[in-house]
Amino acid sequence: MKRCKPNEPCWCGSGRKYKKCHLAHDVMASLRGDEVPVSQGLRPGQISPRRPVPATIPAPSYALDGRPPRKQLGTLYKPPEQIAAMRAACAIARRILDEVCAAVAVGVTTDSLDALAHARCLELGVYPSPLNYSGFPKSICTSINEVICHGIPDDRPLADGDIVNVDVTVFHQGMHGDCSRTVAVGTIDQASQQLIAVTEQALAAGIQAVVPGAPVSAIGAAIEQVVRPYGYGVVRDFVGHGIGEVFHMDPQVPHYHDRRASFILRPGMTFTIEPMINQGDHRHRLWSDNWTAVTVDGRRSAQCEHTVLVTDNGVEVLTAAPDAGP
């Protein structure tokens, strides 16, 4: 099934011509007798101007020039004072995430969700970490339906049946705290419900695999064991990451079993686990904004994320809910 003419913009929203994007993929799928995925109809909306942050709020170094520090500058094994600051940053990030997710509803724009998150950051005296990170224009990421990650909030109203991932990171007391969740908009279909539930189960399994002395690869292996029976794709090009005084640093945390990820987990390490699970193909394609990553087949993707600390006996979920549940 041909979706559009060769020189028209591709149906996937990448901004590229169809002939240079999905044409070959769709032709081969038709020859194999595969079902060619139907576009969700997601298109970029209008992005409002960047929201200001008062100079009185301590900000990371990239806030002015958009240039994040090299990941090597981060402290791999956090001393007690940094761990205490991370607990505080992560608690605020989780609080804001809960408030933004509670505001998700049919007809609400992701730009209004960004405005809410931004305002809460300022009220709580924290800097929204995504803002101007390598030029990112907004304070949170909002990834809808087939968007895997790094969706930019815009003026598109959320529709009944959508799913949306809200990703919140804040900078507080010199440290970053990072978490995300995928939620339903109105009433979603059973396939989307299952995708979200399995993604949450995969995150829980990945967290349980965090023990001192284990290799980082154990996390991805545990996630794959949960996901594999459903035939979902585990995204490989975007991974979890170390975090602290630097937003993204070592170690890299693949969500699939990669034997090369042999880095040994030690007490004092802090990093994110954030599996991105696709209903179909694990690969992605970027929109022309060079941020928005979408599934190559137009099928849906879900993600959930926690920041964790390796302890002497196991793991502490720094972005857990105040009642200790994830």
Query: Residue 122: in which H helix or E strand, if any?
Result: helix 110-124
**String of DSSP letters for 123-163:** HHT-EETTTTGGG--SSSEEEETTEEE-PPP-SPBP-TT-E
- Of the two residues 323 and 220, the one the predictor is more confident about is 220
Q: Judge whether 99 and 116 are in contact, CB under 8 Å.
A: yes
HEC-encoded secondary structure of 158-220: CCCCCEEEEEEEEEECCEEEEEEEEEECCCCCHHHHHHHHHHHHHHHHHHHCCCCCCECHHHH
Mind listing the pLDDT tens digit for each residue in 94-153?
999 999 999 999 999 999 999 999 999 999 999 999 999 999 999 999 999 999 999 999
Give the pLDDT score at 322. Answer: 82
Give the pLDDT score at 70. Answer: 76
Count Cβ atoms below 10 Å from residue 177 Cβ, excluding itself.
31
| 273 burial type by CB count under 10 A (0-12 exposed, 13-18 middle, 19+ buried) | buried
Give the pLDDT score at 15. Answer: 56
Give the pLDDT score at 26. Answer: 57
**Residue 178 predicted with pLDDT over 50:** yes
**Residue 319 predicted with pLDDT over 90:** yes
Sign of CA dihedral 132, 137, 138, 143: negative
Q: Judge whether 153 and 140 are in contact, CB under 8 Å.
A: yes
Looking at the whole model, is its pTM more than 0.95? no
Mind listing the pLDDT tens digit for each residue in 283-316?
999 999 999 999 999 999 999 999 999 999 999 9
Give the pLDDT score at 100. Answer: 98
Mind listing the pLDDT tens digit for each residue in 18-37?
656 656 655 554 444 444 34
* Domains with residue ranges and CATH for the chain: 1-34 (no CATH), 71-317 (3.90.230.10)
